[in-house]
Amino acid sequence: MILEPLRLSPDHDIPAALLTELTALYASNREFHALSGDFPDPDAIRPEQVAAALADELAHPDAEVLLARSAGRLVGTAITLAHHPDPADPDPWIGLLMVDAEVQRQGHGKELASLVEDRFRAAGRTAVRLAVLDHNRRGLAFWTSLGYEVVARRPDRRLGRPCTILRKVLRTPRRAARVAVLDPDGSVFLFRYDNVEVGVHWALPGGGLEGEEGPREGALRELREETGWTDLEPGPLLCTWEHDFTHASIPVRQHEHIYVTHGPRREPTGPHLAAAHAEDGILTWRWWTRKELTEAPEPVWPPELARLLDELEQNGPTWSG
């Protein structure tokens, strides 16, 4: 799918061929327009009505009309607003996202929404909002399936229609790697972290990858930086998993590779560890037995670490999530 802004002619009109495509797209969504009341007769939407509706949108200096094409065909459109008229609202908005009814349920809506989010993310925005008309159950189900959460209910500004307001945090993808270090008795070494978003939890040594660094290479570097142990190498892959948290004030969705290695039972050592731990929010560390892991009063990352380690010893690495 290619996403591009609507470009008007030198006379500030929509080119005739494009207006024909847009009219067909709008007309295919008869059910939505019957609900919204945006057009007098949803069974007879005319090109001049579509042109007028888009002109009204573009009259706002922060609005943008985006066209989505797949294999050259116009399959959808989105209207966005970079800044809401209410100065108390810091987020950009998706005013409309519409997919041609003939190609719905093929993933185009999800892909279009993702591309719109990527544009906001690239512009440095950290969240996005939208409004779903009451009684639009399909629309509400679609947006909540994409991670949007209900934050308010109020009438829309233009026509006073009752709406549900949804918001989604725009997380930045982040690659990371960690190492589960096991002592001769099978206990595993964990750090205790405090994160501004998820709070206190226990996790394995590791962190974000740098540049084009591979997971195994990054896991080794992070292990050495955080523990001072230079005599260990990452072994087999235990699992991969994804989770959300905030890193350096940025909401991220982190994809982690987790490896296993064996070493002596000891404490981290090195002249720079205190500063590194303070920067990463590391509070303390300890070795955990498998039984202690299953009874941990605070969250342990990855979840079910004891089970994963047991399964690795019995069957080899089979789990990812």
Residue with tokens 């190609």: 103
| pLDDT value of residue 316 | 66
Task: Render pLDDT for 6-36 as a digit per residue (tens, 0 to 9).
Answer: 998 888 899 999 999 999 999 999 999 999 9
| pLDDT value of residue 272 | 85
Inter-CA distances, 221 with 69, 114, 274, 296, Å: 43, 33, 17, 28
User: What is residue 171's DSSP assignment?
Assistant: P
Please say whether the dihedral angle defined by the alpha carbons of residues 117, 22, 108 and 7, taken in this order, is positive or negative.
negative
Main-chain dihedrals φ then ψ at residue 129, nearest 5 degrees: -125, 165
- Residues with Cβ within 8 Å of 52's Cβ and at least 6 positions away in sequence, in order, are none
- Residues with Cβ within 8 Å of 28's Cβ and at least 6 positions away in sequence, in order, are 100, 101, 102
Measured from the Cβ of residue 110, the count of other Cβ atoms closer than 10 Å reads: 13
User: What is residue 205's DSSP assignment?
Assistant: S
Rounded to whole angstroms, the Cα distance separating 149 from 170 reads 12
Q: How many CA atoms lie within 13 A of 204 on its CB side?
A: 32
| pLDDT value of residue 134 | 93
Find how far residue 214's CA is from the centre of its chain: 22
| pLDDT value of residue 144 | 97
Helix residue ranges, H only, the chain: 16-28, 30-36, 47-58, 108-122, 137-145, 215-227, 273-280, 290-294, 305-315
Please say whether the dihedral angle defined by the alpha carbons of residues 29, 31, 33 and 39, taken in this order, is positive or negative.
positive
pTM: 0.75
Task: Render pLDDT for 173-186 as a digit per residue (tens, 0 to 9).
Answer: 999 999 999 999 99
CATH 3.90.79.10 residue spans of the chain: 172-315
Q: Which fold has domain 172-315?
A: Nucleoside Triphosphate Pyrophosphohydrolase (3.90.79)
CATH 3.40.630.30 residue spans of the chain: 2-169
User: What is residue 27's DSSP assignment?
Assistant: H
Inter-CA distances, 10 with 13, 15, 89, 178, Å: 7, 10, 34, 56
Pairing of strands 282-288, 188-195: antiparallel
Rounded to whole angstroms, the Cα distance separating 296 from 192 reads 12
**Hey, what are 6's tokens?**
């609507």
| pLDDT value of residue 321 | 44
| pLDDT value of residue 317 | 57
Sheet of 149-155, strands arranged across: 2-5, 63-70, 73-81, 93-99, 127-133, 162-169, 149-155
CATH class of this structure's domain 2-169? alpha beta
| pLDDT value of residue 319 | 46
Q: Using an 8 Å Cβ cutoff, are 120 and 128 in contact?
A: yes
Contacts of the segment 316-320: beta carbons below 8 A, 24+ positions apart: 316/236, 317/236, 317/237, 317/238, 317/239, 319/238, 319/239, 320/239, 320/240, 320/241
Residues in the chain where the model's pLDDT stays below 70: 316-321
